[in-house]
Structures are given as C-alpha cells and as structure tokens.
Amino acid sequence: MKQRGWMIWAIIMIMLYSCNESTGSGSYPLTPPEQAICDRLHLNPGIIQALRQYSQVPVEAFHYSLGKMHSGDTVTELDPIRLLGIIFNETEDNAYELIYKLKDSLHNKGYTIFKVELTGEAGNWKHSVGIVKETDPYRILKQMATAGINYDITNDSLITIIKDLDKKYQLELIGASGDYCEFIIHRPPADWTQLAKEVYAICPDTVDQGVGSVEELARELKQNRRLYFWWD
C-alpha cells in the first residue's frame, strides 16, 4: 500500500511540474495589470512569461506614434497606432539581446519582437521594444506605416524595396517605426560595399547623418549582419 501511495504521489507531482513547464506560470506568474492586458487584447500570456526570463521591465499595451506633442513632462501621441501586443523600454544592448534570444520562440507562438524607437534623452537613451501578434513582416511594416517621406518613399514603395532586398539577402525584421526599419541579414552578400551603396541610394541619412561614408557603412553591415534604414 505504501508503495502504491508513493507512486500516485509521484505521478501527481510529475503532472504538476509538466504543467508549470509548459505554461511558465509556476516561475513567472503575471501581475494583475499584465493579465488584464492579455485578457483585453486576447494575447498569449506566454509572451510576457518569456520576457520575464530575461527582463522585469514594466509592459504596456502596444502603442506608437511618429508625431508627438510635448508639454512639460507630458507627451501626447498624435494619431497613435495600437496593435495587438505589448511594448516596453530597454537599453540598446538589452533590446538587441532580448530580440535575439526571444525572436524564434515568440515566432512559434505567432508573435514578432522588434525595436520600435529611441526614447529618453542624451545620457539616458532607451529603446522601446514591441511584441505583436503578427509574423508577417510586411504586414507589420504596413501597420506601422513605415516610410521615407522625406525622400518620396511611400509605405507601399518601401515594402516593394524590402521584398526585393529580401530575395537577395534573406532578411528578418527586427525593427520598425514610422521612419525606421531594421533586419537581420541571413544571406550575406558577396560584396558588402555594393550592399552599402544600395542602402545609401535608398536612405542617404544612414551615411550623411550616420556613419559618415559608404565604406564605413559596409564595414558596419558586415560586422553586425544587420541592415537598417532611418530617414530623419
């Protein structure tokens, strides 16, 4: 009888452990505000539980606006974009680290993690990072209305450009806002300088207000294996 009772107890404990492992709720329970966001937006709680393995930063329902009005310490977003997901602030190094660690597992859950914009002020810069319920990079670029308006690059034309580059370099989206997008390069070019020239032709600000020369841009692209556009 004792042995039978021990076996039943062992089976129950294994079942409880397996349940906690699959949901993450045992190690990273959601706070009431986090649970409220997931309930309201019908999000998988596992996306926050996955984040909590590496960061304890506060999260909000996803919101973004390229246009902002500042009044003292108050910032009002103009025509904000609200997607099904969450957003939070991290340092630049932590933002990239989180994206690389979480992107594959979140994608398997039906979500994409990406940098959104630089926030804060000199000496205390942060990067907002979003996790949204979407895996199609072109839908994300469409929803974020990403464009290079100063260079007459509309959202539709940008998506056409990115699709062409994707065929050549196998890109993975890791950044998107109103005037910025960024991608991991999974198929390196034979000539990094040629790629840098392509980027410069599309977005001169990467050089003229960024690294300073096409040669330096080529070096940066090769070192980081990340392609980005940013129109000031």
Compute the mean pLDDT over every residue in the chain, rounded to the nearest whole number.
87
Residue 19 lies in a domain: no
Q: What angle do CA 147, 150, 153 make, to 5 degrees?
A: 40
State yes or no: pLDDT of 208 exceeds 50.
yes
Q: Is residue 63 part of a domain?
A: yes
Task: Tell me which residue range forms the domain holding 38.
Answer: 32-230
| pLDDT value of residue 102 | 98
Per-residue model confidence as pLDDT tens digits over 107-160: 999 999 999 998 766 567 789 999 999 999 999 999 999 999 989 999 999 999
Mean pLDDT of 218-225: 97
Q: How many domains does the chain have?
A: 1
Among 77-91, 168-182, 216-230, which is the least confidently predicted range? Answer: 77-91
**pLDDT tens digits, one per residue of 46-94:** 999 999 999 999 999 999 998 766 667 677 777 899 999 999 999 888 9
Q: How many residues does the chain have?
A: 232
> Measured between alpha carbons, how far is residue 111 from residues 61, 105, 155, 178 in Å?
14, 9, 22, 20
